[in-house]
Each structure stands twice: as structure tokens, then as C-alpha cells.
Amino acid sequence: EYVLTQKDFVHKNDLNYPFEERGLQFGDGIYEVIRVYKGRYYLIEEHVERLFRSAEAVKIKMPFTKQDFYHQLDELLQKNKIDTDAKVYLQITRGSAPRDHAFPLSTEANLYAYVQDLPRKEDLMREGVSTITQPDVRWDWCYIKSLNLLPNVIAKQEASEAGCFEAILHKDGEVTECSSSNAYLVKDGKVYTHPAKKNILHGCVRMKVEQFCKEEGIPFIEESFRVEDIQFADELFLSSSTAEVMPIIEVDGKKVKEGRPGPVTRKIQEKYEKDAK
Ligand code: PDD
């Protein structure tokens, strides 16, 4: 089980993290979660592009070029002999230095990337999941995939304690996204989702959902919906690299329509399935 670091591959048991590390002390870093199907990356360019955009936004100097990174990520799968469905988690922090809020003058970014088996959530995708709503108390720059996930962690924990899969986040009633996925509402055959502004993460699967809708002639409308709109929705779903396209059948204990995944969600799931193969 090899982990990719900024220097080389190390065995996971030999990975020592420094005592003063900006990722640990400040959450001063960025991350990605990339899906792997049968040993091959899905949407890798989208993830690497977003990683570099996040780095630029928080002024982290990337320790490698995009081209080198693609090679290293391939090597990560090869070294670990991955031929299953999996995920790669990677994070890059501003590095290690004596604790001070301001950036250290000369510090190299720290990378680690590892791969873990992740079977597809086939049962949930067939049946759909329950959710709760939670206030979105995050900052204004959620388009940056930053390590600061405490609000997301707390919202997800609330969902978990309610026996639910996800928390749908809203700012003053306006739905932004979920704690670790994007959110969509279907009404009269049209898909509504929050515009890709700075206050949500621009999901890689979201880009695909948009493409699938366009290919199928399903209007993809980047207009946010409100918590009160959910009771009138025909369908609701969420998307992420780990949950794929997931039907939402319940919100705050109330069924969405008849409490079954709907045809638009099914269509998008089908398209995803084909695309990911
Ligand atoms: N989360 N919104 C948020 C807040 C997320 O954390 C994620 C992904 C998404 C979906 O992005 P994508 O389609 O690129 O996976 C939307 C990952 C899976 C995580 O934190 O584990």
C-alpha cells in the first residue's frame, strides 16, 4: 500500500507527518477525491484542473506540473496493482513551518495521495436515499476544494444521526448544495441546480450531469431552488464522485413525490453508467 508524496512513493506505515504542518494546524491546503473504475480514472482531467485552480486561488505553489502529476497518479494505481472500483484521495498543503498565520517564506508544499477500494453504492442508487436540510454556514469561497471541512463534517454528522445519507445545505432557505455533493431538483421535466458561482463546489460530476441533460434535451437550469420548493418537486437527486448520481427520496422525514426515484434521475444515472465504462 503505497502513498505518493511530493518526494516519492512511501509505504503508508512509513509516512510521517511533521509536527508543525499547515494542513493540520490551519487546514491550509486543498484536496481532491477522484473516482477509479476497474483500475482506471474517471474525469481525471476535470479533477486535476480543479486542483490547480484551487491552488491558484489560495496561492499554494504546486510542486509539480500537471503533466508530471498525471504520470504520478497513474503510477499510484500501478504500484498498488489496482484493478477494482476505488477512489484516490489526495491533498496538498502549504507545507511545514513554525506556526504563524502568514505564509512561511520558503516552504514546499506537502502532497500525499493514496488509493482505497470503493465499491459502487448500487443498492442506494437503485432505492434512493433520505436527507435532512441544514443551514449552510460555510464561507463565500466554496468553489475552492479546501481542507477546511468542519461545517461540512457537522452537517453530515447531523444527517448521520438522523439516519440519513446527506444534508442538503441552504443559505436563508436557498439551497446551495449538499455537505459533500451537489443538489438538483426536477420539476416538469426540467433540472434545476444552484449556478456554479463561488459559493458552491463546481462538481466534476455536475459538469457531466449538465452534459447528459443537454444530450437528452432535458433543460438544465442554473437557478437555485428553495427549501419550500422541495415539497412541490417531482424528483430530487445529488451527485459526487463517490455517490455518483443518487436519487433523494426523502427530505426532513417527508417523501419526495411518491418516495421513489423518478424517470429523469434514472435517465441521468443510465448516461453516467455508460460514460464511466
Ligand atoms: N466531495 N460539493 C461538495 C461540498 C463536495 O465536497 C463534493 C465532493 C461535491 C461533488 O464534487 P465532484 O462531483 O467533483 O465529486 C460537491 C468529495 C467526494 C469528498 O469530499 O469526499
What CATH number has the domain bearing residue 145? 3.20.10.10
Protein residue with its CA nearest to atom 1 in ligand 1: 180
pLDDT on residue 66:
97
Same domain, 112 and 159: no
Pocket lining: 206 vs ligand 1, CB cutoff 6 Å = yes
Query: Which residues partner with 166 through β-bridges?
Result: 131
Decide which of 86, 117, 148 is a domain's last residue. Answer: 117
Same domain, 106 and 243: no
Pocket lining: 46 vs ligand 1, CB cutoff 6 Å = no
Pocket lining: 241 vs ligand 1, CB cutoff 6 Å = yes
Pocket lining: 131 vs ligand 1, CB cutoff 6 Å = no
Q: Which of 38, 87, 145, 190 is catalytic?
A: 145
Q: pTM higher than 0.80, yes or no? A: yes
Same domain, 83 and 139: no
Same domain, 188 and 79: no
190 is catalytic: no
Same domain, 150 and 61: no
State the distance from the centre of ligand 1 to the C-alpha of 172, rounded, in angstroms: 22
Same domain, 130 and 111: no
Q: In sequence order, what are the residues at sequence separation of 6 or more whose Cβ sits closer than 8 angstroms to the Cβ of residue 90?
A: 4, 31, 32, 34, 51, 73, 111, 112, 113, 114
Protein residue with its CA nearest to atom 6 in ligand 1: 180
State the distance from the centre of ligand 1 to the C-alpha of 168, rounded, in angstroms: 13
Same domain, 140 and 207: yes
Pocket lining: 182 vs ligand 1, CB cutoff 6 Å = yes
* Domain count for the chain: 2
Pocket lining: 201 vs ligand 1, CB cutoff 6 Å = yes
Decide which of 82, 99, 117 is a domain's last residue. Answer: 117
Neighbours of 106 (CB within 10 A): 7
Q: What share of the chain is helix, strand, coil (3-state, %, to 5)?
A: 30, 30, 40
Same domain, 158 and 31: no
Residue 65 sits in a domain of what CATH number? 3.30.470.10
Same domain, 82 and 179: no
Same domain, 69 and 158: no
Q: Which atom of ligand 1 is nearest to the CA of 182?
A: 16
Decide which of 117, 135, 154 is a domain's last residue. Answer: 117
Same domain, 131 and 203: yes
Work out the burial of residue 27: count CB atoms within 10 Å of its CB; fewer than 13 is exposed, 13-18 middle, 19 or more buried. middle
Q: List, run by run, the mean pLDDT of 10-residue segments along the chain (277 residues).
A: 93 92 97 98 98 98 95 98 98 96 93 97 98 98 98 98 98 98 98 98 98 98 98 98 98 98 98 96
Same domain, 103 and 141: no
Its domain, for residue 47, covers 2-117
State the distance from the centre of ligand 1 to the C-alpha of 225, rounded, in angstroms: 19
